[in-house]
Amino acid sequence: MTHHFSNADLSVSDFTTVIEDFASIFIRLPSVEKLSFTTLSVLHTLSRKGPTRLNELTLTEQLTQPAITQMVTRLENDGLVERRPDPSDGRAVRVHLTTLGTHVVEARHADRVTQLTRFVEHLSPEEQRAIASALPALARVVELGRNASSPLPPRPSASIEQHTEHPQQEE
């Protein structure tokens, strides 16, 4: 399917569709480490955030406390993570990536770089520059998403088309 986009304004609907399509391809790229999406998500979260409490992982991974506890126990048994006392609260623990867990994350990243390089090589120089110029804005969207639990700053005035099929009405 070929998408046709207007360069004039950002369509949040088009942006969402492309991100969804990209994510579905990206997460399924052939990889050196075949693990479940949930397992990989926990490892990726720990690699980005560092040592994390179990209750924080329930929020980022959208799992129940029993499910994340079971997941961490399985990862611990596989040698990918370890639990250590939380230095700020002796009753709590933080989950840390082990050297093996770090290797899994790094190997998957390197494999994805290799796979995406094959696709990017088929883009025109203009398309490659367009992606490069979009990276700072995409990084900012990621930052806003990671901090979504805190209030977002006031919206700057900009030209953004929002397409919604079923607008939500306030009650």
pLDDT band at 4; cut points 50, 70, 90: low
Residue 163's pLDDT band (boundaries 50, 70, 90)?
A: very low
Architecture of the domain whose range is 35-137: Orthogonal Bundle (1.10)
Could you read off the pLDDT of 129-158 as tens digits, one per residue? 999 999 999 999 988 887 765 555 566 554
- Yes or no: say if 96 and 84 are a contact pair by the CB < 8 Å rule: yes
The rounded distance, in Å, linking the Cα atoms of 117 and 122 is 9
CB 101 within 8 A of CB 35: no
Angle at 137 (CA atoms; ends 134, 143), nearest 5 degrees: 140
Structure tokens at 18: 């492309």
Could you write out the DSSP letters of every residue in 40-92? HHHHHHHHHH-SEEHHHHHHHHT--HHHHHHHHHHHHHTTSEEEEEETTEEEE
Q: Out of 8-12, 109-113, 159-163, pick the least confident.
A: 159-163
Domain residue spans of the chain: 35-137
Residue 3: per-residue pLDDT: 59
Dmax (CA) for the chain in angstroms is: 56
> In 3D, which of 74, 53, 55 has the Cα closest to residue 64?
55
Q: What's the rounded Cα separation, in Å, for the pair 44 and 27?
A: 12
10 pairs with which residues across the strands? 160
Residues 82-108: tens digit of each pLDDT: 999 998 887 889 999 999 999 999 998
Going by their DSSP bridges, the two strands 89-97 and 52-53 should be labelled as: antiparallel
For residues 49 and 171, the model is more confident at 49
Does the structure show a pLDDT above 60 at 161? no
Burial 14-30 (b: 16+ CB within 10 A, else e): beeeeeeeeeeeeeeee
Q: Higher model confidence: residue 138 or residue 27?
A: 138
Spatial distance between the Cα atoms of 60 and 45, rounded to a whole number of angstroms? 8
What is the pTM (predicted TM-score) of this model? Answer: 0.72
Residue 5 has pLDDT above 70, yes or no: no
pLDDT higher than 60, residue 169: no
